[in-house]
Structure 1
Amino acid sequence: MTYLSSIIDGNPRKAIISIIGPSNAGKTTLVKFLETGLTQKKSPSTTLGVDYRKNHIKIENWEFSLIDVGGQVIFQELFWDISVQKSDGIIFIIDATINPDAHKNEFENQIEQFNYALDILNEDTVLLILLNKQDLKELNPLQPTDFIKLVKNDRFKSTTTGLLPASAKYGDGVKEAFMWLAKNLSDQNYD
């Protein structure tokens, strides 16, 4: 049983969710929190390649299968396309503590990876952008309104897109993220 499991009467609808984003943004931390419901006290090891998770996340009559995809450029080029094409929904994780003024190159790399994800995204795929590491208040993490102003990208308007703040380490915003996915997959009459 996983943290976000809920009572499901009948057969749940199923969806595959790929979790992608830059290296060290918190993808595996999110998956570990979902599987255990526990605060992640230490950083998990880096995902090398693709990790198809055996535990499914159950919420709102949905059963989500998770694919945790490495964020290093080599894995982006090798595995993001395949994972995205096989997914019903995408969670793109941004490290919100990377300040665009203080860490311009790192921030631009995140945006470049985000744009790459938009390039390979199917038009009918649900996209959720999580601005992770909101627990690190001392680093003044980006908020959704800041991200929208900085990205200035109209390309993701063609798909169902959400943008939420979160802390994968502590689980803040995680339940809301999966509720958003469940609602928007349902709104698309997904079966």
Structure 2
Amino acid sequence: MRYLLTALALTAPFFVAQASVAESLDAGQREILSAEAGAMAIYEDARLEIAKAKASGAPRLHLSTLKWPKFKNLLVIPHEISTLENLQVLYLTGTGVSDLAPLAGLTQLKGLYLTKTQVSDLAPLANLTQLDTLWLTETQVSDLTPLANLTQLEMLSLTKTQVSDLAPLANLTQLTMLDLTEIPASDFSTLEPLVQSGLMVIK
């Protein structure tokens, strides 16, 4: 059920928001004002987890497990994640996120797990050249062009995506595992040199 929110759900009890409060919210908070009850609470929980990771210097961050009663999961990646310059592994599996823009500057990221998210645009990942593991299983991704220069990629899952053109993967010579289960692509000739070099392709 959708609600016209007159209150914001935080990790603490609900409070009544003044009409002018929207002007003081960050972009992520404004985006979820009209979402299901609990969206703001999960967003604030995500910000808290990011703050903890920032303080501890932890190289891994799990945002996949954030839940709220009667609500699914995180919808928007808090912009604060951009401050985790040394983050190496990020789990967003099963969240409702679609916009990866906050990740664009995380150049030390090595593992990114986006299975069962609403992601379709990979452009923000184009400069994450340290990525060696990328899971895009059951997303809306169709264009792999932003991955063309991610030459450190070793493991890539495209299971149940909308990918039909595999040409952008031609120069990813470090790939050792590529999962293409249930994708619309029919021309796999681009991958032949990689297979000859040891790439394992799962179809």
The TM-score bracket by the shorter chain reads 0.3 to 0.5
Structure possessing the higher radius of gyration over alpha carbons = 2
Tell me which protein shows more strand as a share of its residues: 1
TM-score (norm 2): 0.31
Tell me which protein shows more helix as a share of its residues: 1
TM-score (norm 1): 0.32
